[in-house]
Structures are given as C-alpha cells and as structure tokens.
Structure 1
Amino acid sequence: MTTSVEPTRDDMQRILERQKAAQLAEGPPSEQLRLARLDRCIDLLVDHADEIADAINEDFGSRSKAVTGLTDIAASIGPLKHAKTHLRKWMAPEKRKTTPAILGLFGAKAQLQFQPKGVVGVISPWNFPVNLTFGPLAGILAAGNRAMIKPSEFTPKTSELMKAMFAKAFSEDEIAVFTGGPDVGRAFSGLAFDHLIYTGGTAVARHVMRAAADNLVPLTLELGGKSPVILSEGADMGLAAARIMAGKTLNAGQICLAPDYVLAPEGQVGAFVEEARGAVARMFPTLKDNPDYTAIIAQNHYERITGYIEDARAKGAEVVELNPAGEDFSQQPYRKIPPTLILNPTDDMTVMQEEIFGPVLPVKTYRGTQAAIDFVNSRERPLALYWFGSDEAEKEKVLTQTTSGGATVNDVIFHVAQEELPFGGVGPSGMGSYHGHDGFKEFSHRKSVYSQLKKDIGPLQRMRPPYGPAIAGYLKGAVKR
C-alpha cells in the first residue's frame, strides 16, 4: 500500500465546498439513503476485517487480532446497527407543549425538527483508529450529514486502508478521507465545517478549538484525563483487581477511559497488589512475545511512559512490575511495557500529573470516603470515575459529590459500551456527547418550530397596539409571584 501525497488546505477546501453544495442541492437525505449509508459502513467493516486487523497490528508493532476485532470492528458495527434500528423514530419530529398551554387546545403546535447540520469533520485518534472513525459516523450519517475525515498519522497503514475503503463505497461528495501529518491536521481543523468532532489529547484539543473558533464551528471534543478508581472498604478485592487490570491492560492502557490511578483504603494496598498480580498472570502468563499483549504505539510514547516510571522511582515510590514470567524487556522487537504499579505516589511525580495512556497504575491510600472524594475533586474533572463496593449510600455519595464525564460501578470502561447512554467528558475531559440517540441529536440541528393558530383570537389581539385595558389585565395576571 503506497502512501498518498499529502493534501493541501485548498484540496480539502474544494471537497468541503463540493459536499456543502451537494447537501444543499439534494436536500436532507431520505430514511432509505441514510440506512443505505449505514449499511455501506457495516459492509466495509465486515469485508475488510482481516485487512484492518493486519494494518493495526503493523502500525502498533504487536496488537492482537482479537483485540482489534472486539474494540475496533465489533464495537463499530454495534453502533451502526443500533442507529439503523432506531432511525425512523429518531427522525420523527418531537412534540412539545405550547406556552401558554391553552394555545395548544385551540390548535397551535410546538415541535422540534431534526435537520442535518451539513458537513461534519472527524479527527480520529490512533488508539482505536477504526472505531473512533466509524463510531461517530453512526450518528453523523443517521442525522443525514456528509463527512470529511482526518485519521491519525501514528497509524499510517490503517489510515491509508480506511481511505481506500471509503473510496470504494462512497463518493467524495459523501465521505472523504485525508491522510497526512500535523500540517494536514492543522489545516483540516481550520475548515468551516458545520460541526467538528475531535477525539484525542487535551493539549491538541486547545489548538483545535482555537482553529474552529475562527469559523464559529460547533465542536464535540472527546478527550481524556486521569480517571480515578475508588475502592471502598467493602469492595471484593479479587473481583475489583481482575476487572481493573483487565481494563488497564486492554490495548496496554492506551485508552482514554483506562483507569489512571487507584485510591485504596489504608491497609488494603497489599491485598490489591497480590490480587492484581494474580489477575495479570491469568491473562498473560507471558508478555514479551505474547500477541495478546499490545505494544506501545511509538517510540516517543514508550519513552514518555518509561520516563514516568523512572521519575516515580527516583522520587521514592515503590515500583511493582507485574511480569509473570520474569522476562527481560531491555531487548525486544516491540515496544512493550509490563503492567506496572506505582505504590505511594506523591503529587510531584509526573505519573500523578499527566494522563498516563499506558500500562502503569499508581495506587494511593485514603482514610475515609470523604478524603477520596476530596482528592478527586482537587483535580481536573476526569472523563470517567470508577467505584467498587457494595454500600449503596457510599456509592451515591461518591457519584453525587464528584463530577466526571461518566461512571461505571463495580467495573471499568463499560459505560462507553451502552448505546442508550451519552458518552462524553466535562471541562478538560471534553465537551458534547454522542452514542445512540444522543449522537443523532449531537450531529443534528434541532430546529424549534411553532405553528400559530389560524384564527386571530382575543388573547393574541391584546398583545398588539393600541395598548389599553386588555394588555393591562394580561400583565396583572402574568407579573406576579
């Protein structure tokens, strides 16, 4: 597969103009056309499943075909099928009550109509390059839009494959893909889309938001942050450790929703470490040449993560490497890092300051639920929060007194798989949300339409000059406590 010449801003601008012109000329697409576009996406994923797995494995250096099948292919087909199932209901106008209600009794109507926004720009990341391209398309296409896509330069084989895939099934007037490096990304984010969704890091998101501001482009930002895990006193430590480490080692922790640090009750850290050690050994008896254990995407990310470990060790943390076979990782054909626990981390360590995005997990102790809540609230609002335990009152206290994009109770990450729940961050972890019906609404213009009474009844007449006793009577009833 050869890499294409990088597009210029003018190249992308021409496609944007073509897509906008086609959208205006053809009008909102019918239900049948939207269903057909969703079907074409599903067919692409099914027909190219093996090629996708091979491309992602090559981009990462080592990534399990099963992981790609689960997280990139099946996880993309699910939302597309969900959108197909519910599309007709989503497209129907939503009735609202009139104000005052008496107008509705006489035949006035209020409703929301869902219009396509037009052309939606999609900037997708490298960690789940296919899912985080096709997943948003479920809502974008269901809402009747066209799309322009900028996939990550960190997964060049996958990005070029997706470009070829979309070109087979869609005209450039419907969906166009632009591959290339940071210069392409910068030019892309400055285009006058009707909506732009960016998935990636918070630092880059600030630049995307500034670029979008020049054209007042509405944004959906799916970011990340340091998502905490709170283990309650009554948590089942074996179950919690198994689920936490499954989430932390999936894709080697290169997930925006990966648990970023654990808050454990005083006296229970040792139990968590041993249960985590056992969980890793059951999942990965070996790591170095195990195709089930994912490599770090690039050398600079590998050095960043190992730098966190060395910084923590130098500043006094206890570093526990979960390496079941005791393998030597100093020489390896990939960029694999064993699951690593950082015990007793302090706030001056970079591992507690930066989103880790790797298989490293700090474990801090706390004394009392309020202390754990206060620690979470002292930091930027995360994309997710995870709580393990059985005390319902404690669970409600944690959920109501902390703010996060979403939460999963007694597991990690799983709330993102719920198509009936919106997925998104808050503040530094993102803005806007999508998935399911919420995705359809995110990528739709919700137009308010009021249909007035045909008959000019008295209450309507009194609103017009000349003002006199009639308006005075109305105001006397309206301006009161």
Structure 2
Amino acid sequence: MSSVEDRINSHMENTLSAQKQAFLQNVIPDARSRIDKLNIAIELLVDNRKELEEAVSEDFGHRSDEATAFSDIMPAVGALKFARDNVRNWMKAEKRRSVFPLGLLGANSKVEFQPKGVVGLMTPWNFPIGMVFTPLAGILGAGNRVMIKPSEFTPKTSELTAKLLSQAFSVDEVAVFQGGPEVGAAFSKLPFDHLMFTGATSIGRHVMRAAAENLTPVTLELGGKSPVVIGKSASLDLVAKRVMAGKVLNAGQICLAPDYVFVPEGKQDELIQEIKKAVSAMHPSGLLNNDDYTSVINERHYSRLNGYIEDAEKKGATVISLAPENEDFSQQPHRKIAPTLLINVSDDMQVMQDEIFGPILPIKTYSDIESVVGYINERDRPLALYYFGSDQREERSILENTVSGGVTVNDVIFHNGQQDLPFGGTGASGIGCYHGRDGFLEFSHKKAVFHQTKIDVLQMLRPPYGKLFHSEVNRKIKR
C-alpha cells in the first residue's frame, strides 16, 4: 500500500470517528435541521447545474447536458424535495398494539425512528450525480451523517461533487473520499452504522463480505438481466418506442435498462421494423455526431461491449446495427456504439450471461407465456421486469409467478421514477430498498418502546407460581 493510500485510509478512519462523535452529541436531529440539510443539497444541484453537466460530459467523452439534467439532476432534486416535504410526518412515532389487557390498563407500545448514525455510501459511474444525491434524501432525511466514495471512472464529476459538498457541509456531516479500487476496498471495511453500495453484483459480493466483518447492515443496489416480455396483445409500435427510449438512454448504461426481449413467434420481424423506425425518429440526424447520443464510459467497457457482439455473431447470432448506412463507427473519437439488435441468440453467448450495460438488445421469440416464465425463473432474479400488453390475466400470471426487484407495465424503467415506491433488488439483484419513505426507513433504526402500566397486574407471573399463573398460561396456550 502506498503512502498516499495510507494517508487516505487514516483520513477515512479519523473522519468516521469524528462523525460518530458528532452524532452522539445530537443523536436525533430535529425536523428543521434535516430539512435545512435537504435544502442545501437541492441548492447545490440547482445552482451548479451547468458545471455538473459539463463535468459529466467530460468524464464520458460525450454526454449531452439534456441527458444529465433528465437522468441525473432532475431525479435527485425530486427525491430531495419529496423527503423535505414529508420528513416531519415520517419522523412521527408509530403507535402499536399492546398485549391484552395491558393496553386497557394504561400500557402503550410504539416504534420510534432513530438515525442509525454514520452511513457509508459507495456510488457508481453511470449516473455520478444522481446516485450520490438521490440516496442522500433518505440518509439525511433520517438524520444520519454520511461518508461518500464516488466512482473513480468519473473523476471530474467526483472531484466537483467533493468540492461542492465540502463547501456546504462540515466534514463531520458529509465527507467525500476519492480514489480507485484500493480506496473502495478500505472504505467498505470501515465500521459504518450502515453501508449502501450501488454497482455490479460481483463487486457487491466483496462489499457485503467486507461489511460482514463489522456486522454492518447493507443496502446493495445491484443489477442483473432485466427482461422485457411482450404479450400478444401489445402494440409493437408502442413497445418499440418505449423499450428503445430506455435502451438508448445513457447508451444503455443503466442498471434498469431492458436487457433482452421476448416477442411472440411470428412478430419478430414486425418488432425489428418498429424498432428501426423508433430509433430513427429519436435520432433523425444520425447517431455518430449526434449530441443526444451518449458515449461509452471508457475503453474497457467499449471493448467489452464490442466483444459481446463479436462473440454472439461468431456463435450464430444475426447482428442488426441500427446505425445509419453512412456512419462508420469504427472511425471515431468518442467510443460510441450504435444501438444493436441480436437475433437468434443462444444461452452460450456471453451477452446472454452477463448484464449488458450498453446499447445491445438481444431478441428471443416464444410460443407460450409459460415458457417465458420458466426461462426467467431459471436465472438470477432481475432488478426489474417489464411487461407490455393489455391482457390482464396474462399480466397477473407473469407478476405472480416471477420474482424481480420491481416492475413497470407498458413501459420500462419508470417505476424507479415514482418517489413513493420502494426501489431495490432481490437476490442477486440487491438487498434492501430506498426512495421516499422506504429510504427514510432503510436508514433509520426502528426502536421499539413499551411503557408498562403502573398497575401491578403482573404479580401473578412472578414466583411462586400459583393457580392463577397456570390458569392464565394454559388459557394462552391453546388453539
């Protein structure tokens, strides 16, 4: 380990200690102070929007200001505002029932929501602003302090985020630590009161293993292969527009991006034609030099995605590039990959085994919906599932017989944008959830508080045990 890493690790440990001490000086911050912090975070995003958009574009090689505003800044502002406007109600204790007859005699039960303390937040590169500030809605709303490790793949954005947060918050409230995998590994080993990680499932396993050494509770927002199921009743025109809007957004570099599509036999060719029309309508001036079309984040991921296409073609898939005929994507400075369809895919292809995280969309056909359900259930549980169609019986069958983190019906990704819905995975796609009140609860300790009645009705439960004790216990232990 280098001396620089030693200093960073020491700084992280000292900061955690300072935040824990500061937390103990004010264990349950009042609503006003929480709202003030949420407003500060909102102001940072609003007042520095242009600078943030420029930093993200520089990190990606190219990403439009509109894409960053829509997919990074706007959702984060929305999450922070929702928490700000609701946190007073979320903080209120919940009344619970007391065992009969204690409640009638003056006893009462309730749950109080207490901040956990110091939360560690490890964020990814694909939405480098939103994935920092959106979780802050729940973390700060619940009254916690936070240490943040942003992605090293977006250094300009991470540096700017660290600068803005350090100007607005004291280090014992919010602190940011930059660095590569070694810093991330050391960060995950710190004894936080809660640790949230967003990223690849493979890295999530390492994070959970490190957190387990301190028995640190975790929220893991991972990924997986989110399927699209097109019912026979679906409008393929609508399917194509909405699926491809989700697939080309951020060039498919989204944990919720549709990963593969099931289309009824006999409708594949029609779907392909509708997809071509949809992509052309979204990008009428082409893709290569189009400001609305995002670059792949770096050379490693660019090579990985091109490798998926080459591997699939070698193993028998038909590759359909949706690039205009006059655009040569092999000669370009910005690592753009045209939206690409893969037909006749098989499970031995790498693209059908890994989360794609790019603008590649495999298409599979099916004859009966039961086989689709079986295929999905034989694999890791996805972060999201998407169903298109108007057949409510078919929709219920899919929803009730598959398990996924969340579902959007007749669109993709949009369940993530609903502030009052929980967002998270299940199984290999994640642990825990956040957004809205669910985020407040995720980062709160639910403390049970019971006030006993002053009437000593429990004397019979103390030794020496007599007839009344046995009568009461026997009355309770029966069908």
1:179 corresponds to 2:166: no
Q: Does the 8 A contact of 2:93 with 2:111 survive in 1?
A: yes
CA distance in 2: counterparts of 1:45 and 1:121, whole angstroms:
21
Q: Does the 8 A contact of 1:7 with 1:180 survive in 2?
A: no
CA distance in 1: counterparts of 2:291 and 2:157, whole angstroms:
18
- How is 1:342-381 mapped onto 2 (pairs within 5 angstroms)? 342-381=342-381
CA distance in 2: counterparts of 1:130 and 1:107, whole angstroms:
50
Q: Does the 8 A contact of 1:6 with 1:180 survive in 2?
A: no
Question: Alpha-carbon deviation of 1:27?
Answer: 2.7
Question: Alpha-carbon deviation of 1:433?
Answer: 0.3
CA distance in 2: counterparts of 1:421 and 1:217, whole angstroms:
25
Q: Secondary structure at the match of 1:428?
A: helix
CA distance in 2: counterparts of 1:394 and 1:123, whole angstroms:
39
Q: Does the 8 A contact of 2:95 with 2:109 survive in 1?
A: yes
1:340 corresponds to 2:340: yes
Q: Does the 8 A contact of 2:9 with 2:183 survive in 1?
A: yes
CA distance in 1: counterparts of 2:36 and 2:5, whole angstroms:
31
Q: Secondary structure at the match of 1:447?
A: strand
- Alpha-carbon spacing, 1:55–1:68, altered in 2? closer, same or farther (3 Å): same
Q: Does the 8 A contact of 1:284 with 1:324 survive in 2?
A: no
1:297 corresponds to 2:306: no
CA distance in 2: counterparts of 1:75 and 1:359, whole angstroms:
22
CA distance in 1: counterparts of 2:278 and 2:325, whole angstroms:
14
Q: Does the 8 A contact of 2:383 with 2:405 survive in 1?
A: yes
Q: Match for residue 218 of structure 2? A: 219
CA distance in 2: counterparts of 1:468 and 1:62, whole angstroms:
80
CA distance in 2: counterparts of 1:120 and 1:420, whole angstroms:
22
Q: Does the 8 A contact of 1:6 with 1:179 survive in 2?
A: no
Percent of residue pairs bearing the same amino acid type: 55
Moved over 6 A (4+): none
Aligned residue type for 2:373: I
CA distance in 1: counterparts of 2:117 and 2:27, whole angstroms:
10
Question: Alpha-carbon deviation of 1:38?
Answer: 0.3
Q: Secondary structure at the match of 2:219?
A: strand
Q: Secondary structure at the match of 2:428?
A: coil
CA distance in 1: counterparts of 2:172 and 2:474, whole angstroms:
57
Question: Alpha-carbon deviation of 1:26?
Answer: 2.5
Question: Alpha-carbon deviation of 1:45?
Answer: 0.2
Q: Secondary structure at the match of 2:191?
A: coil
What RMSD over aligned residues (CA atoms) do the two structures have, in Å? 1.0
Q: Match for residue 470 of structure 2? A: 472
Gaps of 5+ in 2: none
Q: Match for residue 228 of structure 1? A: 227
Q: Secondary structure at the match of 2:287?
A: coil
CA distance in 1: counterparts of 2:241 and 2:25, whole angstroms:
55
Q: Does the 8 A contact of 2:105 with 2:455 survive in 1?
A: no
- How is 1:304-315 mapped onto 2 (pairs within 5 angstroms)? 304-315=304-315
Gaps of 5+ in 1: none
Q: Match for residue 141 of structure 1? A: 140
Q: Does the 8 A contact of 2:87 with 2:141 survive in 1?
A: yes
Question: Alpha-carbon deviation of 1:6?
Answer: 8.7
Q: Secondary structure at the match of 1:361?
A: strand
CA distance in 1: counterparts of 2:326 and 2:233, whole angstroms:
33
Aligned residue type for 2:478: K
Question: Alpha-carbon deviation of 1:220?
Answer: 0.1
Aligned residue type for 1:464: R
- How is 1:407-418 mapped onto 2 (pairs within 5 angstroms)? 407-418=407-418
CA distance in 2: counterparts of 1:201 and 1:407, whole angstroms:
20
Q: Match for residue 461 of structure 2? A: 463
Note the alpha carbon deviations across 1:119-162, whole angstroms, 9 max, x for none. Answer: 00000000001100000000000000000000000000000000
CA distance in 2: counterparts of 1:245 and 1:99, whole angstroms:
55
Q: Does the 8 A contact of 2:5 with 2:183 survive in 1?
A: no
Q: Match for residue 93 of structure 1? A: 93
Q: Match for residue 34 of structure 2? A: 34
